[in-house]
Homo-oligomer: A and B are copies of this chain.
Amino acid sequence: MTNFLPTLRALVRTYQAFDNFSERHIKSLGLTTGQFDVIATLGNTQGMTCGEIGEKTLMVKGTLTGVLDRLEAKGMIVRVENPKDKRSTLIKLTDVGEKTFQNTFQPHLEYLSQVFDKLSAKELQEIESQLQKLYQLF
């Protein structure tokens, strides 16, 4: 058993530092992580079914229903009947939701870029390729 603990700790604490940094900003925008993920997923699309959103955001359907309820209560999404399959529902951003997307997604990327822009394209590429190597093991 090689000593993988330092690598493991580096992964965990790097992710946590990122998550912390990212979440603080998202909350300041008035959204939870789950809500932001849904808004970001729906942005620039014509709408999606719950199943599709669940796949992208890795939320199970029970959780997603709750997140969608809260977004609907805020007037950011609507549920409309899916003409192709009456069992399913299409989720779309409302104008308010669209505005929220514009006001959060791009600013959030810019917020994150404060950090990532300290690295060169080459460095980013190296980090990515090392992470890929690790990812592929799981």
Contact = CB atoms under 8 A, between A and B. Distances in A.
Interface of A: 1-8, 10-18, 20-21, 58, 109-110, 112-113, 115-121, 123-128, 130-135, 137-138
A7 B14 CA distance: 13
CB-CB nearest 5 A-B residue pairs: A4-B116, A17-B138, A10-B131, A15-B15, A14-B135
B18 A11 contact: yes
Given A7-B116, A117-B2, A131 B137 contact: no
A123 to B, nearest CB: 7
A138 B115 contact: yes
| Secondary structure call for the A interface | helix
B110 A137 contact: no
Contact of A117 (B1, B115, B132, B133): B1
B21 A131 contact: no
A135 B10 contact: yes
A109 to B, nearest CB: 8
Contacts of A8: 18, 112, 116
